[in-house]
């Protein structure tokens, strides 16, 4: 396991490579949404819902009417879709779990299963909000839904990181470590992760840092938190959490630093 050596060597390059954030808000319009099918066909319109393995797309006909056409999820390769404004709003640091739940519950119900980063991010954030409100069963159900809807995809790691955090809160330190260690190891080898992978790594490092604290390894824990701030900063809310954890660690351990 290497945190500092790989990360410090790549820090400058990564700071240049990453200029965006994980969630960029924009008003939705029909032109924003595009579906690329596995056969290369591109469908333009407004994605209005996902249900029963199908994505419903609304578009304007040549005569000015409105048409709604379903497309099977299994035929969809990728989706380009503007992030709903509500998702960006509740992603701001300091948003209460209750506000997150109120905003994201209907969106997750409407779009769960769509192969879009923001949808899985919203599902993970909703699960975290449930957990913060003592609704562990609901949180676990959302994480299980991610695994069910996105089998074999990188999105499964979002659920694994979330479940690891729940294990940590339950005092199951070894279980939490076993879940995030592979993600931490992968992050140490990935010098140019995508924005979505960067946000995933951030979550894994937050859990990893807290595990290290429980193992009485404050210096390594601090490095894990600072890694989120300097490298995997695509999600502002996770960066804010890393800063708070780092501050608390420093307050408890005056004079602590990293090599």
Q: Does domain 28-82 have CATH number 3.40.1190.20?
A: no
pLDDT 10s digits, 153-176: 878 888 998 999 999 999 999 999
Tell me the pLDDT tens digit for each residue of 78-137. Answer: 999 999 999 999 988 889 999 999 999 999 999 999 999 899 989 999 999 999 999 999
What's the chain's Rg over C-alpha atoms? 19
Which residues are CB-neighbours of 73 under 8 A, at least 6 positions away? 50, 53, 54, 55, 113, 114, 115
* 15 vs 206, residue with greater confidence: 206
Q: What's the Cα-to-Cα distance from 33 to each of 75, 103, 155, 161, rounded to whole Å? A: 16, 21, 21, 29
Burial degree of 27 (CB within 10 A; 0-12, 13-18, 19+): exposed
Cα–Cα distance measured from residue 252 to residue 153, given in angstroms and rounded to the nearest whole number: 39
Domain positions in the chain: 4-26+83-252, 28-82
Q: Tell me the CATH number for domain 4-26+83-252.
A: 1.25.40
Question: Who's near 213: CB < 8 A, 6+ residues apart?
Answer: 221, 249
- pLDDT above 70 for 4: no
């Amino acid at each position: 396991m290497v945190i500092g050596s790989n990360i410090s060597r790549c820090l400058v390059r990564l700071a240049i490579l990453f200029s965006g954030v994980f969630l960029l808000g924009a008003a939705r319009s029909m032109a924003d949404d595009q579906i690329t099918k596995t056969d290369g066909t591109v469908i333009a319109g407004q994605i209005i819902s996902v249900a029963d393995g199908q994505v419903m797309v609304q578009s304007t006909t040549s005569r000015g009417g409105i048409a709604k056409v379903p497309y099977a999820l299994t035929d969809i390769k990728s989706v380009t879709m503007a992030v709903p404004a509500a998702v960006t709003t509740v992603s701001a640091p300091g948003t209460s779990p209750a506000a997150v739940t109120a905003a994201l519950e209907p969106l997750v119900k409407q779009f769960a299963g769509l192969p879009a980063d923001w949808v899985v991010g919203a599902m993970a954030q909703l699960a975290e909000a449930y957990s913060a409100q003592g609704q562990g069963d609901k949180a676990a159900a959302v994480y299980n839904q991610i695994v069910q809807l996105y089998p074999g995809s990188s999105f499964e790691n979002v659920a694994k990181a979330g479940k690891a955090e729940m294990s940590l809160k339950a005092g199951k330190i070894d279980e939490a470590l076993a879940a995030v260690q592979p993600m931490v190891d992968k992050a140490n080898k990935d010098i140019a992760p995508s924005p979505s992978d960067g946000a995933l790594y951030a979550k894994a490092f937050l859990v990893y840092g807290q595990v290290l604290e429980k193992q009485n390894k404050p210096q390594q824990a601090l490095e894990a938190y600072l890694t989120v701030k300097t490298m995997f900063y695509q999600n502002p809310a996770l960066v804010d959490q890393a800063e708070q954890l780092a501050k608390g660690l420093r307050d408890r351990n005056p004079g602590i630093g990293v090599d």
